[in-house]
Structure 1
Amino acid sequence: DEVTQEKWKFNRELENLSEQIRYINQKREYINSSSLQKEYNLISSIQEEGEWTVKNALTKLENEHEEQHALYKKQAFSYEEELHQLKKERD
C-alpha cells in the first residue's frame, strides 16, 4: 500500500511539473517547441524510471513475502511432525 501511495504521489508531482511547464511556456511571447519537447521527454523519462523503481520495490516485497511464507510453512510442518512424534511416544 505504501509503495502504491508513493507511486501515486510521484505521478501527481510529475503532472504538476508538466502543468507548470505548460503554463510557463504559455506566458512566453514565443514557444520554442524543441525546448518544450525536451522538457516533456525529460518528464517522460523520469516517469519511466519511477515506474521501474516501483516495479522493483514491489517485486522485492513479493519475494520477501514468498520467503517468509515458505519459512512459515516449513516451521509449521516441523511443529506438526514434532507433535505427531510426541503423540506417538505418549501412546
Structure 2
Amino acid sequence: MKKDIFEHLSTDQLIKRRDVLKGASIGLGIVAIVAIGILMYIFTTNGFGFGDIPFAVFIPVMMLPVFFLPMLIHIGQLNTEIKKRNQN
C-alpha cells in the first residue's frame, strides 16, 4: 500500500510549501531563459556557425528538464493532496 508522504503536514503547510516551490521554479525558469538568451547572443555576435559550436555548450540546455521535472512533479503531488483535503 502506498504511504501518504503529506499526512503529517497541515493544509496551511502544504499550501506554503506549494507556493515556495512555485516561486523557486519560476525563478529557475527565468534564470534558464536568461542564460539561453546570453548564449544565443554570444554565438550570434561572434559569428559562430552551427558546426563551430562545441557539443558541451548544449549540455546545460539539455539538462534543464532534469532540473525542472522533480520540482513540477512535487508541485503536482502537493496540488492533488490539497484538492483531496477540499482546500483551494
Q: TM-score, normalised by structure 2?
A: 0.52
Question: Aligned equivalents of 1:51 and 1:36: distance in 2?
Answer: 24
Q: Which residue matches 2:29? A: 11
User: Identity of aligned pairs, percent?
Assistant: 6
AA of the residue aligned to 2:74: A
Structure 2 counterparts to residues 68-83 of structure 1, below 5 A: none
The number of equivalent residue pairs is: 64
1:55 is aligned to 2:59: no
AA of the residue aligned to 1:14: A
Q: Which runs of 4+ in 1 moved over 3 A?
A: 36-42, 59-63
Deviation (angstroms), 1:16: 0.5
**Bigger-Rg structure (1/2):** 1
AA of the residue aligned to 1:26: T
AA of the residue aligned to 1:39: V
Q: TM-score, normalised by structure 1?
A: 0.51
